[in-house]
Amino acid sequence: MTHPVGLVHDWLTGQRGGEHVLRAIARRFPAAPIYTLFHFPGSVDPEIEAHPIVTSFLQRAPGLDPRYRWYLPLYPLAVEDLPVDGHRLLISSSHCVAKGARRGPGAFHLCYCHTPMRYAWDQEEAYFGHGRGPLARLRRLVLAGLRRWDVATAGRVDLYVANSRFVAERIRRYYGRRAEVVPPPVETGFFRPDPARPREHVLMVAALAPYKKVDCAIRACEAAGLPLVVVGDGPERARLERLAGPSTRLAGRVGADTLRDLYRGAICFLQPGIEDFGIAAVEALACGTPVVARGEGGVLDIARDGLEGVFFHADEPGPIRAAIDKCRGMQFNSMNLRERAEGFSAGRFAQRLEETLVSGWPDAGGFLA
């Protein structure tokens, strides 16, 4: 018998913010299958991998790991081919194409949208640079096709849920749809302050991708002589290693305990890029660490300038350094910062998501009993 609930996620290649959301949803439906374009076993939380995982035909594509991004033109076809039409309730966790899965007749589709595709809509240059020549022209054609498909399939979703007001506005702008806002879950029970730990470094937690502006953080901290620890990995690593000086440590991926220790020992958490939400900023607050961030995007739902941190308004070393200096001169109460973070707990997420689902589709009550 087909489980009444099906879950859809773009791909399972690492445990990042989107996968934390998927894990929280999957906990509520412990036997529900997870449909995804491709899955690299062992790359995500065991709680996720305990579910039946159904992959698309791309799972068999040659050279998929690590070159899965090369198959982007096939993603729409692959997600439409996933056999999800036997479920009464479909919940997609989407930052790319998962929202385009084809629900069955009479089924209800809730999409938790992390963001409409950034690289297809408004951040092509941030991801790919100012390319010229045949490959750049081909890329522009592919992205134009993705945008057309993205709009054409927006109606397959009955209820959009955004992770922030910033993303809700993007959904309205690109899809012409209203979205309810439910912030993503943060494990505030795990991320807690340690008053005995000295605060010695500035911390960034981010994928090493151009739009994260890690290079701006490195330049600002090197100029100030401030120790900077960057947690994360990605395609920018080699370039950033060449840029990094003696004050910077690129830590790569770290375990949860190490990450918590780094939050606890940070002077501040630094976020120079514009984020759709920013789970790491909430984790920092939960550990009693103030946030220094570009004052745009999802961070406006998380922190308040002068209360939980300091905002700057240009991704340049000067404003970043000034904001860090201002933060260092302020007195933050770690328990006040933690209290702010507790509004984003996993329990609050589950409650808000269920209430939103039932208000949008009263029949959902039967799946949540």
**Distance between CA 348 and CA 182 in Å, rounded?**
9
In a domain, 112, yes or no: yes
pLDDT at 351: 95
Q: Mean pLDDT per 10-residue run, the chain (369 residues)?
A: 89 93 95 97 96 97 91 96 96 97 95 90 64 75 91 97 97 97 96 95 94 95 96 93 95 95 98 95 98 97 97 93 96 96 96 96 82
What does the alpha-carbon distance between residue 185 and residue 288 come to, in Å, rounded to a whole number? Answer: 18
Q: Are residues 10 and 148 in the same domain?
A: yes
| Whether 162 and 24 share a structural domain | yes
Give me the number of domains the chain comprises: 2
144 Cβ contact partners less than 8 Å away, ≥ 6 residues apart: none
Would you say 156 and 100 are in contact if contact means Cβ atoms under 8 Å apart?
yes
Q: Are residues 93 and 170 in the same domain?
A: yes
- The region, left, alpha or beta by phi > 0 then psi within -120 to 50, assigned to residue 191 is beta
- Whether 335 is covered by a domain: the verdict is yes
Q: Is 281 in the same domain as 298?
A: yes
Structural domain includes residue 267: yes
Is the domain of 86 the same as that of 229? no
Q: Is residue 192 part of a domain?
A: no
CATH of the domain at 91: 3.40.50
Residues 168 and 267 in one domain: no
Q: How far apart are CA 203 and CA 88, in angstroms?
A: 44
26 found inside a domain: yes
- Contact between 22 and 48 (Cβ < 8 Å): yes
The whole-angstrom separation of Cα 218 and Cα 236 is 13
How many residues make up the chain in this entry?
369
- 180 in the Ramachandran plot: left (φ > 0), alpha (ψ -120 to 50) or beta? beta
Identify whether residues 102 and 206 lie together within a single domain. no
Residue 190 within a domain: no
Domain co-membership, 164 together with 275: no
The CATH number linked to 334 is 3.40.50.2000
Q: Is 40 exposed, middle or buried (0-12, 13-18, 19+ CB in 10 A)?
A: middle
| Rounded-to-integer distance, Cα 56 and Cα 38, Å | 6
Q: Are 173 and 163 contained in the same domain? A: yes
pLDDT score for 156? 97
The pLDDT value given to residue 1: 47
Same domain assignment for residues 360 and 253: no
Residues 227 and 150 in one domain: no
Structural domain span for residue 333 = 201-343
Whether 360 and 329 map to the same domain: the answer is: no
Distances (CA, A) of 165 to 122, 186, 279: 17, 18, 15
Task: Specify the pLDDT at position 129.
Answer: 58
In a domain, 191, yes or no: no
The answer to whether position 195 is within a domain reads no
